[in-house]
Structure 1
Amino acid sequence: MSKPYHLQLPQVTLENAEPEAREVLERAKRQVGRLPNMYLLMANHPGLLETYLNGYDHLRKSSRLNPVEQEVVFLTLSRENSCEYCTSVHSFIADQMSKVPTEVTDAIRDGRPIPDARLEALRTFVRVMHDTRGRPDQAAAQAFFDAGYSEQHILDVILAIAVKTISNYANHVFNTPLDEAFSSREWRGEPVT
């Protein structure tokens, strides 16, 4: 694979933002309390950042998945998409804010099964949805249901895939530098081939 292209657009800050981007950045700051590098780069296209924030907010507020399960989904997708930025950030959020056991986040980061059977069933199903582009077979769906999940949870996974696709792909093209605040959980993935 040839060297990936990285956008040269600068970070958009509250100080240099056009009105539409400033409005979205101010909302983002209210929503999460800070402006991570990813948001400052995504603000080059306010609609991109707005769409990401809306989807992320909806998932956090209305998902049938609890906060630990949400982080398992986000972290699994970020690793599957080889997004070093999001894998690092969601490792930090999972450990520090959502109280996901470190053995769970480390297993996902390393591509190993999760020791908790229910969370492993979730991780496995997320990978199936990712790998099949949303076309799980009956056996995969049944294994997910057997672990206690429902068809409604599949819709939560789809929303998470949409949100993570936006952020993972944006981070790929921007080669987003990891914020110092998340450096304790930095993850360097395997190169994508």
Structure 2
Amino acid sequence: MAYIKTLSAVDHTQAQGDQKALLDTALKQVGFIPNMYANMVNVPGVLSTYLHGYSAFRQKSGFSPTEQEVVFLAISRVNGCNYCTAAHSMIADKMSGVPGDVLQAIHTGQPIPDARLAALFAMTQELVKNLGQPTAARVQEFLDVGFDESHLLNIILAISVKVLSNYSNHAFGTEVDERFAAYRVG
């Protein structure tokens, strides 16, 4: 249920100052203004922080594009964000090379048929569900498949970024952009 009712999406053509600069940056990065960005920019610091953290995760996390999508999907699924689940499902399918059976397993809650991706998904979900306090067994399982402790911090970065987007989408009841509509889950 949307609970921000008096703020509305900022129209890029009407935006000024920090809002315009951020939306210009977003337009250059993704080629359009996602509904999520138009909502987040109501408070420029929200969109600015999101864009900075998202870029840092994408460029410097040490995760492959496939692994990055598994992380983002794990977080968005736990947080119940249909918008981000649809968007990252489209990116997973069209851009990041996530195997179809892995994406299907994530969508249906079935076991992921790749041990490394399964451990990554489980670790990420446990960090979100347990507020950053995973079990020692889960951490060991994660390390045993070849990840290291810096990967744990990068998951925390991704969680921070997704909290901004997932929670903003809940607050606004953000409509899934047409580009992502075919990837709606549930």
TM range (shorter): over 0.9
Superposed CA offset, 1:79-99 (max 9, x none): 110000000110001000112
Shift of 1:131: 1.4
Equivalent-residue separation in structure 1 for 2:72 and 2:53 (angstroms): 13
CA distance in 2, matches of 1:53, 1:4: 23
| RMSD (Å) for aligned C-alpha atoms | 1.2
1:133-165 Cα distance to aligned partner (Å, 9 max, x none)? 111222111100011110010011000000011
TM-score, structure 2 normalization: 0.96
Identity %: 47
Gaps of 5+ in 2: none
Deviation larger for 30-39 or 154-163: 30-39
- In structure 2, C-alpha distance between the alignment counterparts of 1:123 and 1:90, rounded to whole Å: 14
With 113-122 and 98-107 compared, the bigger mean Cα shift is at 98-107
Is the Cα–Cα contact under 8 Å of residues 107 and 113 in structure 1 kept in the other structure? yes
For residues 43-63 of structure 1, what are the alpha-carbon distances to aligned partners after superposition, in whole Å with 9 as ceiling and x for unaligned? 111110000000000001111
Q: CA deviation at 1:127?
A: 1.2
Alignment: residue pair count: 186
Which residue of structure 2 lines up, in the alignment, with residue 159 of structure 1?
A: 157
Tell me what 1:49 maps to: 47
Structure 1 Cα separation of the partners of residues 5 and 106 of structure 2: 29
Aligned to 2:86: 88
Paired letter, 2:32: R
Q: Which runs of 5+ in 1 are unaligned?
A: 189-193
CA displacement, residues 95-126 of structure 1 (integer Å, 9 cap, x when unaligned) = 00112112211211222221111100101111
Segments ≥4 residues shifted beyond 6 Å: none
Structure 1 match to 2:19: 21
Q: Which residue of 1 aligns with 2:38?
A: 40
Deviation at 1:6, TM superposition (A): 4.0
